[in-house]
Amino acid sequence: MNREEIKELIPHREPMLLVDEINLDGEFARATYTVRGDEWFLQGHFPGNPVVPGVVLCEIIAQGAALLLKDDLIGKVPFFAGMNKVKFRQPARPGDRLDVTAKIIRHNGPFVMLKGEAYVGDKKAVEGEYTIALIDKENAVGETAG
């Protein structure tokens, strides 16, 4: 599944769409994202030594789990509801390709608990457990400031 197909499942758009490809492999979603170097989150993090922020690595994993949630996403918007046991082990930098694996470990009402990890080459960059709340679209739309 390429970026255009991913956009049919999740509401994220550039510059916040952080997955290039997603594939289903049994009970696992496998996704990739290549850090280009011009992303908004690298500006100032850190000058002369750009590193993908840890929370962005977690977001990449959550977006990478989209294929696992495919049927559950109809009429819903996914929101982060929690992160547990998250460990950052290896930085991701411009030019690095992140290989993500995610698996559903529990589904409880609107909450989906996932276990995910991302690698840079053969080194684990991040791992953890993530909770996603699937909120009805009509309840997820807020008013814009203006």
Which listed residue (12, 30, 45, 93) is catalytic? 45
Q: Are 18 and 63 in contact (CB under 8 A)?
A: yes
12 tagged catalytic: no
Cα dihedral 63→68→28→87 (10° resolution):
40
Query: Exposed, middle or buried by CB within 10 Å (0-12, 13-18, 19+), for 67?
Result: buried
Active site residues: 45
